[in-house]
């Protein structure tokens, strides 16, 4: 039977890289479905969101129900970053934006996983290594990623609604090597940033091999130094 992966945020820089890694696997045939505001890469099926998360997920759910769809992996790589402390009035816009980008996408992915993940499946959300500690200079980002980390702990607990034997993990990047980040921080040492294909390969590995997954509920930091990436449980 073909394996199916749902990539929430599959049209983003990380999402496309993850989709690419899944489509590359020849030993197992993966069918890739992206859910995002734009199209993902060729070879992936793209479901386009309109903007109202509740209505969007109603529509997506009806489509999946009609198809009797089941996923072996649901991966949320949607999200974003915003800086700023609480003193600036911009905190309200920042919090609102981070809420929509980071928390609504994580909740939507979790909801879809609870309803369409196959037994023994994998759920991966995107947290942030920075949010393991205080983030006074990027409060909105920090609180939404802390919320995501907490969501992972709840999804990994009995009674979460996920099917039997499923694994819930979070990847906690420090800095991903994206075009956006290179533009924003042109003088940084890119050798210490995590390449997107490395993230994709990690996720494919977890999806392919249930025995190789960290314990459900784990938050896995992606720590890159001199072009070498380690995956360290928080």
Residue 82's contacts (CB-CB under 8 Å, 6 or more residues apart) are: 94, 97, 98, 138, 140, 141
- Max Cα-Cα span within the chain: 54
Q: Quick check: 146 binds a second copy (CB under 8 A)?
A: yes
Burial string for 43-54 (b: 16+ CB within 10 Å, else e) reads ebebbebeeebe
Residues 81-110 that bind a second copy (CB under 8 A): 85-89, 91-93, 95, 99, 103-104, 107-108, 110
CB 127 within 8 A of CB 143: no
Burial string for 16-41 (b: 16+ CB within 10 Å, else e) reads bbbbbbbbeeeeeebbbbbbbeeebb
Residues 204-233 that bind a second copy (CB under 8 A): 217
CB 182 within 8 A of CB 195: no
Q: Which of 25, 41, 147, 174 binds a second copy (CB under 8 A)?
A: 147
Least separation, in Å, of the C-beta of 103 and a second copy? Answer: 7
Least separation, in Å, of the C-beta of 24 and a second copy? Answer: 31
Indicate the residue among 32 and 138 with the shorter CB distance to a second copy. Answer: 138
Indicate the residue among 127 and 200 with the shorter CB distance to a second copy. Answer: 127
Least separation, in Å, of the C-beta of 12 and a second copy? Answer: 21
Task: Give, in order, the Cα–Cα distances in Å from 132 to each of 135, 146, 153, 188.
Answer: 9, 7, 14, 22
Q: Which of 25, 48, 143, 174 binds a second copy (CB under 8 A)?
A: 143
Q: How far apart are CA 49 and CA 57, in angstroms?
A: 8
Q: Quick check: 134 binds a second copy (CB under 8 A)?
A: yes
Residues 34-63 that bind a second copy (CB under 8 A): 53-54, 57-58, 61
Q: Quick check: 199 binds a second copy (CB under 8 A)?
A: no
CB 178 within 8 A of CB 14: yes
Catalytic residue numbers?
141
Least separation, in Å, of the C-beta of 86 and a second copy? Answer: 4
User: Given the rule CB under 8 A, which residues bind a second copy?
Assistant: 53-54, 57-58, 61, 85-89, 91-93, 95, 99, 103-104, 107-108, 110-111, 113-115, 131, 133-137, 139, 142-144, 146-151, 153-161, 217
């Amino acid at each position: 039977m073909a394996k199916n992966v749902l990539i929430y945020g599959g049209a983003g820089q990380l999402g496309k890289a993850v989709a690419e890694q899944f489509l590359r696997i020849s030993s197992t045939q993966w069918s890739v479905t992206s859910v995002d505001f734009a199209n993902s890469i060729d070879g992936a099926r793209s479901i386009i969101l309109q903007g109202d998360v509740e209505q969007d997920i109603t529509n997506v759910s009806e489509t999946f129900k009609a198809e009797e769809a089941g996923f072996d992996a649901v991966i949320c790589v949607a999200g974003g970053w915003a800086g700023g402390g609480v003193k600036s009035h911009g905190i309200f816009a920042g919090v609102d934006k981070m809420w929509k980008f980071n928390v609504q996408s994580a909740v939507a992915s979790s909801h879809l996983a609870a309803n369409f993940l196959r037994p023994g499946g994998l759920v991966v959300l995107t947290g942030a290594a920075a949010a393991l500690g205080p983030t006074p200079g990027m409060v909105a980002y920090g609180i939404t990623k802390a919320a995501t980390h907490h969501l992972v702990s709840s999804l990994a607990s009995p009674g979460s609604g996920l099917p039997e034997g499923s694994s819930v993990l979070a990847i906690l990047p420090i800095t991903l090597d994206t075009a956006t980040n290179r533009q924003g921080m042109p003088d940084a040492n890119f050798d210490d940033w995590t390449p997107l294909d490395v993230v994709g390969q990690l996720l494919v590995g977890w999806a392919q091999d249930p025995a190789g997954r960290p314990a459900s509920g784990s938050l896995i930091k992606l720590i890159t130094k001199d072009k070498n990436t380690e995956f360290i449980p928080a």
